[in-house]
Structure 1
């Protein structure tokens, strides 16, 4: 008998996007929620399971406890910022349902399994690495000592660390996550400011070939090999989404870098073109014009591009593998083709100075993506950046515990002798204001609003949320 399993993204900070699709676990500038794809995948593999994503649906702790009554196994996704509140949720579950088996997954417990279990006896095990088949075996009732990829507390209270689980090679063997979205989620609860609403996101592969020192998922769970689903599998799931979510306006492929395999990306694009769908994806700022043209002609609307910095030395420091001039040409090509860009930048990376911050702001204004996201350098445990920051003294033990404030808003944990926490933190607001409060950008967004009543309502709501967010940053 398979245990009835609840996959849980627990209640946390109000508006906190800590889901397993979120690159940065924090409350964003405007209401933003990624789909909990990493939880949906094992949920699709275990009969009788349920995925409860509490934050987007504003599900309370008490409501969560009531839902959990029907389940024998609860798997909680956690992150470094949300770990303390997720542990409290586990303790409340164990207090009410002492026989419930409780496990945790996510990058946090993958790299700190023993420390995570030591935090509370309410957590019975953690699943490391890719945990899809690991959780399937747990739900099937297999003895813990026979399950690769888990760290668990034995009957005598000892913490046991089983061998690592092998990476998944046959990605087509995994069932569609969109079937779990259909069964358990309300897709209208998921918002991303630069994507059409409602949207659906999914992965067509896992892992990333790039070596960026700050990036969490490839260094902790997904690995640096890009393991992909077949083109036919991807097209079949998109067809399923078309048939079961007629309200969806856009599909987003959340692979770390969908464009890493250009021939495959072009083949998928041609299949999507035949289906007539609007789609977007992550991309590195080095895709050649010819590939961009094929993608755009077959329904590509937007690219999410990690520029990170306008300073070449900082890009070298973080092993971005990108030249500023290549990024300029790529962006110009996208503008020429009519591909919308949402550009992401990170302030406070190694090598940052007051001058490089100004350089990044100037670069963002120069290349002019349609919208931007500005994040603070976040040294998550398990990343090269974390180890580097600890070794160099940029991150103290006290600062390490504070990636977000008491409202879930991202703060700057790292500081340098020449650039302190406050200067880095304040630079985010400065960059947003310098980028958006320009006559040309205001005219561009106003024009977008005038073309659509729905867009006007949405942008006005987002504007109010953005102003509120800036106020909350200074608390």
Structure 2
């Protein structure tokens, strides 16, 4: 059986409960390996807590789905490298304790969902486009978000940024045994 959990709530007493009800896999939204990005999104969880949660799960023979979101506020080459480094370390921990890589390490692309803070930002920047629109294209909302958050003004700047995020996603996705990343359009992953 599988569940979702927050890293900052994983401790030995929780592990004991999970084992009692036969949980074999826990999905955790690590989001980023960068403290700066985690603070920017008000994650209320640190990179260290993420690693500690994964390690205690692995030590107790519970696999982990490590989910990361690329393109969050403050994303840079440095933050992407920190995320990749953390994910690689999680892979090493899984191999050490489980004898195999984690079930999944996923590099998702930020999705701009109505009602979210990110959506309110693009709504404020592009009211005529989003105020009464019920049909939202994932790529279009992401690209508008990148314009707002990163100050991109050309399609080329956005394409270069998306391509960089896709490269990191592919690296992250290769670290687990299986992956099903979300938020991407086909052309990003080719």
Q: Give the TM-score normalised by the residue count of structure 2.
A: 0.71
Q: 2:112 and 2:52 mapped to 1: Cα distance? A: 30
Given that 2:40 and 2:73 are in contact with CA atoms closer than 8 Å, whether structure 1 keeps it comes out as yes
C-alpha spacing 1:430/1:333, structure 2 compared with 1 (3 Å): same
Q: 1:355 and 1:384 mapped to 2: Cα distance? A: 24
Structure with larger Rg: 1
| Residue number in structure 2 paired with 1:414 | 145
| Residue number in structure 2 paired with 1:73 | none
- Whether 2:171 is the aligned partner of 1:434: answer yes
1:354 Cα shift? 2.2
Structure 1 counterpart SS, 2:145: coil
1:372 Cα shift? 2.1
| Residue number in structure 2 paired with 1:305 | 28
Give the 5 Å matches for 1:251-290. Answer: 279-286=1-8, 287-290=10-13
C-alpha spacing 1:397/1:307, structure 2 compared with 1 (3 Å): farther
| Residue number in structure 2 paired with 1:380 | 113
Q: 2:55 and 2:143 mapped to 1: Cα distance? A: 32
| Residue number in structure 2 paired with 1:81 | none
- Whether 2:49 is the aligned partner of 1:326: answer yes
1:397 Cα shift? 6.1
C-alpha spacing 1:474/1:332, structure 2 compared with 1 (3 Å): closer
1:311 Cα shift? 1.1
Deviations 1:390-414 (A, max 9, x none): 55x5x78669943147xxxx96442
| Residue number in structure 2 paired with 1:316 | 39
Unaligned runs of 5+ in 1: 1-278, 446-458
Given that 1:293 and 1:337 are in contact with CA atoms closer than 8 Å, whether structure 2 keeps it comes out as no
Structure 1 counterpart SS, 2:114: coil
Unaligned runs of 5+ in 2: 92-101
Given that 2:106 and 2:172 are in contact with CA atoms closer than 8 Å, whether structure 1 keeps it comes out as no
C-alpha spacing 1:471/1:379, structure 2 compared with 1 (3 Å): closer
- Whether 2:58 is the aligned partner of 1:341: answer no
Q: Whose helix fraction is larger, Structure 1's or Structure 2's?
A: 2
| Residue number in structure 2 paired with 1:425 | 162
**Residue in structure 1 matching 2:103, options 345, 370, 382:** 370
Q: 1:348 and 1:371 mapped to 2: Cα distance? A: 20
Please tell me the root mean square deviation across aligned C-alpha atoms, in Å: 3.4
Structure 1 counterpart SS, 2:84: helix
Q: 1:418 and 1:404 mapped to 2: Cα distance? A: 15
Q: 2:106 and 2:188 mapped to 1: Cα distance? A: 15
Given that 2:107 and 2:172 are in contact with CA atoms closer than 8 Å, whether structure 1 keeps it comes out as no
Structure of higher RCO (CA pairs closer than 8 Å, 6+ residues apart): 2
Structure 1 counterpart SS, 2:108: strand
Q: 1:474 and 1:304 mapped to 2: Cα distance? A: 23
Given that 2:66 and 2:106 are in contact with CA atoms closer than 8 Å, whether structure 1 keeps it comes out as yes
Q: Give the TM-score normalised by the residue count of structure 1.
A: 0.31
